[in-house]
């Protein structure tokens, strides 16, 4: 007879139970390891996709900013120089003292001096003697001539009227304004707040669970892109404001108001 501890069925049952336990533990460990690998892979893909989207937005913002600096900026500067020259010319031609120092006869550069000398000689010849002579003040050489200007005096070359120059300036300012508005439309299409949704649209990471580090990475990236976008938008809006100031300096309606009201450019 076999003892209770030496029964073959009992030994077989213990071995079977031990095998089942070992199999369950191994299966659980393998399952946990596989899930960990899958989660790490999904997190890696999620971060990679987010960095890719972040880089896309950054490149788009840099492209808009580069276009502002290299394409729009020089055009605005050129118009500003032209408007400044026209303003200076208008002030020079329209000011009452612009021709005050002009010679009386451009064919004879010292005509004014001759007239003054002649007046001085006439005054000296007519000066009375004695105490009365002390009261007579000599005419300075630099006094302007009182004689009317000769009809044969050569007039300075007249500049074309400014209204004729407003049309090309208005057209160029409109082109710059259109360019800046297109840049604003491109900026409006860039939405940093939708970066997470765009990344989640990828089927590979649609069900990926982001850990705390990944969530912080995404939040920091979104905040950075929002700050960059605001800076570029402010730069474009500043250029639009400068275009309006140039319109005011040139004496033409604001192209921004013309666009909003559907106005036509100057003929």
Examine residue 213 and state whether it is found in any structural domain, yes or no. yes
Output 233 or 1, whichever has higher pLDDT: 233
Examine residue 138 and state whether it is found in any structural domain, yes or no. no
Examine residue 17 and state whether it is found in any structural domain, yes or no. yes
Domain residue limits at 191 = 10-91+159-261
Residue pLDDT, tens place only, 88-141: 444 444 443 333 444 444 444 444 444 444 444 444 444 444 444 444 444 444
Q: Please report the pLDDT score of residue 257 as a whole number.
A: 61
* Range from 41-50, 139-148, 183-192 carrying the lowest mean pLDDT: 139-148
Q: Are 189 and 21 in contact (CB under 8 A)?
A: no
Examine residue 105 and state whether it is found in any structural domain, yes or no. no
Q: Please report the pLDDT score of residue 260 as a whole number.
A: 52
Q: Please report the pLDDT score of residue 103 as a whole number.
A: 40
Q: Are 174 and 264 in contact (CB under 8 A)?
A: no
Examine residue 117 and state whether it is found in any structural domain, yes or no. no
What's the whole-number average pLDDT of the chain?
A: 72
Q: Please report the pLDDT score of residue 134 as a whole number.
A: 42
- Tell me: pLDDT of 234 over 90: yes
Examine residue 112 and state whether it is found in any structural domain, yes or no. no
Examine residue 71 and state whether it is found in any structural domain, yes or no. yes
Q: Give the 3-state secondary structure of residue 39.
A: helix
Q: Are 228 and 61 in contact (CB under 8 A)?
A: yes
Give the number of domains in the chain: 1
Between the ranges 80-84, 171-175, 260-264, where is the mean pLDDT highest? 171-175
Q: Are 171 and 265 in contact (CB under 8 A)?
A: yes
CA max distance for the chain: 176
Tokens of 93: 């031609």
Between the ranges 62-76, 122-136, 155-169, 195-209, where is the mean pLDDT highest? 62-76
Examine residue 164 and state whether it is found in any structural domain, yes or no. yes
In the chain, DSSP finds a helix count (H) and a strand count (E) of: 8, 0
């Amino acid at each position: 007879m076999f003892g209770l501890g030496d029964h073959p069925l009992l030994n077989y049952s213990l071995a079977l139970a031990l095998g089942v336990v070992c199999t369950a533990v191994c299966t659980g460990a393998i399952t946990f390891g596989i899930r960990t690998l899958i989660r790490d892979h999904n997190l890696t893909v999620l971060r990679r996709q987010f960095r890719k989207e972040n880089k896309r937005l950054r490149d788009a913002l840099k492209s808009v900013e580069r276009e502002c600096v290299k394409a729009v900026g020089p055009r605005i500067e050129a118009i500003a120089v032209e408007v400044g020259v026209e303003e200076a010319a208008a002030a020079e031609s329209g000011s009452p003292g612009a021709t005050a120092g002009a010679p009386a006869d451009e064919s004879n550069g010292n005509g004014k001096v001759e007239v003054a000398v002649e007046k001085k000689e006439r005054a000296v010849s007519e000066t009375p003697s004695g105490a009365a002579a002390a009261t007579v003040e000599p005419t300075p050489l630099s006094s302007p001539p009182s004689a009317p200007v000769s009809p044969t005096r050569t007039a300075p070359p007249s500049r074309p009227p400014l209204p004729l120059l407003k049309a090309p300036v208005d057209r160029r300012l409109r082109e710059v304004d259109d360019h800046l508005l297109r840049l604003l439309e491109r900026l409006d299409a860039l939405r940093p707040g939708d970066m997470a949704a765009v990344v989640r649209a990828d089927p590979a990471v649609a069900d990926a669970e982001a850990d705390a580090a990944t969530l912080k990475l995404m939040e920091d990236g979104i905040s950075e892109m929002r700050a960059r976008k605001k800076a570029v938008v402010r730069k474009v809006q500043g250029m639009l404001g400068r275009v309006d100031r140039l319109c005011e300096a040139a004496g033409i309606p604001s192209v921004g108001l013309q666009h909003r009201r559907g106005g036509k450019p100057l003929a």
